[in-house]
Structure 1
Amino acid sequence: MKYEWRKEEKELYLPKKKPMYIEVPEFSYLTINGKGDPNQPEFEERIGALYTAAYTIRMLPKKDIIPDGYFEYTVYPLEGYWTTDQRDDGPLDKSQFVYKVMIRQPEFVTPKLFRQILPMLEKKLSAELIAELKLERITDGPSVQMMHIGSYDSEPASFELMEKYAAENGLTRSSKNHKEIYLSDPRRVAEENRKTVLRFAVDQKV
């Protein structure tokens, strides 16, 4: 039976529309870094590279390659860490955004397997994009998260709720960095209906 993250990992990927505390374990991710406005082509190219690699791994049995521990699964959603190089308090300058976008991988995806699939990407991706792809072990650790419904530009209202929840529960935000998990395809879902999990790391107050 196919492993469905939407059914098996609801706490991580389908939280309610109110803040909650969660401890996120370490997982493996395909990642790629970038800087700039996410509305520009460079961002879409990096996302495309991630999905190309993720689906290449997912479809390996079609090429008669069955890695140790392989099981049928639904590809995980796109995630991203976001921060900014902007140093002033003026209007938000999206060209200064710094990001790491990623797609989580099952535990059978090892560094050896990652190296094995890279030559398979050469007909679909540029050498520059392939060189930027990485397989990393990442943990969000202790965090506050919630489901945000609406446009990306309306996220500050949800972050305000999350910061209030953190303060009321003896938690402090570790940094201004945050993670977004994209559950809706912006090409197919209207802005007001988009679902995005928002998450930021926290420290417990002593």
Structure 2
Amino acid sequence: MNARTEDKIDFTKIHKDLYSATVKIKEVNAGRGTFLSIEAIGAPGGPEFQAAIGKLYALAYTTKFGISKPKGLDFKVCCLECRYHIEDPEKTPKEKWRWQLMIRIPDEVSADDLEQARQEIRRRKELETSAVQRVEFEEGRCLQVLHVGPYDQVGVVYEALLKHAADRSLAPSGAAHEIYISDPGRVPPERLKTIVRLPVAEKS
């Protein structure tokens, strides 16, 4: 079930520990959630990446205003998130990075609701969003920190997370996860805020 704030589901308020962070690394527990998700391979920020973002937001907003809200289920469209499924970013060319863009949605939004929204998008925008799927997953124990600055400088933050984990006998146990708090169309690169999350587990 999802808690509600003023009759509107707002995950940034319900899960403040997951959608806020400081420059000090902290440990969080990321429980099961429901997301709109689209996966592909390509350079982050490239044409395919940007097209995928457009499809995600089209489906999220059409579901909110055209399907869910008329049924009495209102929610704030949440932050854009991305999980990177890469074994070694240093050795893998960016055009071969596998990524999973996501937007969190209420658990109550069904596959049928999304199909209705897809049909509406096809009719109104002639845009195909069938690649966007409804997924559920749980990350569990994670380290999390805030990165302030350009996206291409986030590697320094990952190095800090890995060192923090190693110092505590922890090891990465899942995909690197970024949550984009700022709008890059409105905020200059040096002020962009990104939450960086890394699932971890005790070293075996």
TM-score bucket (shorter structure): 0.7 to 0.9
Q: Percent identity?
A: 29
TM-score, length of structure 2 as denominator length: 0.87
Choose which of 161, 186, 189 in structure 2 pairs with 1:188: 186
User: Runs in 1 of length 4+ with deviation above 4 angstroms?
Assistant: 85-88
Deviation at 1:76, TM superposition (A): 0.7
Matches of 1:20 and 1:98, distance apart in 2: 27
Residue matched to 1:65: 70
What's the secondary structure of 1:131's corresponding residue?
coil
Change (3 A) 1:57 1:166: same
Contact preservation (8 Å) 2:67, 2:117? no
Residue matched to 1:126: 127
Tell me which amino acid in the other structure corresponds to 1:103: I
Matches of 1:8 and 1:146, distance apart in 2: 19
Matches of 1:203 and 1:120, distance apart in 2: 43
Change (3 A) 1:85 1:158: closer
Contact preservation (8 Å) 1:86, 1:93? no
Superimposed CA distance per residue, residues 135-154 of structure 1 (whole angstroms, 9 cap, x where no aligned partner): 01121222111111111111
Deviation at 1:115, TM superposition (A): 2.3
Matches of 2:158 and 2:67, distance apart in 1: 42
Contact preservation (8 Å) 1:173, 1:201? yes
Contact preservation (8 Å) 2:38, 2:100? yes
Change (3 A) 1:24 1:42: same
Q: How does 1:25-174 map to 2 (within 5 A)?
A: 25-60=31-66, 65-66=70-71, 70=73, 72-84=74-86, 89=91, 93-122=93-122, 123-127=124-128, 130-174=129-173
Change (3 A) 1:34 1:75: same
Superimposed CA distance per residue, residues 65-85 of structure 1 (whole angstroms, 9 cap, x where no aligned partner): 316xx1x33211011111348
Matches of 1:16 and 1:183, distance apart in 2: 12
Matches of 1:87 and 1:61, distance apart in 2: 39
Gap regions ≥5 residues in structure 1: none
Deviation at 1:95, TM superposition (A): 1.0
What's the secondary structure of 2:165's corresponding residue?
helix
Deviation at 1:5, TM superposition (A): 3.0
Tell me which amino acid in the other structure corresponds to 1:109: V
TM-score, length of structure 1 as denominator length: 0.86
Tell me which amino acid in the other structure corresponds to 1:53: L
- Count of equivalent residues: 197
Superimposed CA distance per residue, residues 88-109 of structure 1 (whole angstroms, 9 cap, x where no aligned partner): 84xx622111111010001211
Matches of 2:163 and 2:188, distance apart in 1: 28
Tell me which amino acid in the other structure corresponds to 1:55: Y
Matches of 2:179 and 2:89, distance apart in 1: 26
Q: Which has the higher contact order (CA 8 A, sep 6+)?
A: 1
Matches of 1:16 and 1:189, distance apart in 2: 18
Change (3 A) 1:110 1:153: same
Matches of 1:157 and 1:142, distance apart in 2: 21
Tell me which amino acid in the other structure corresponds to 1:20: K
Gap regions ≥5 residues in structure 2: 1-5
What's the secondary structure of 1:196's corresponding residue?
strand
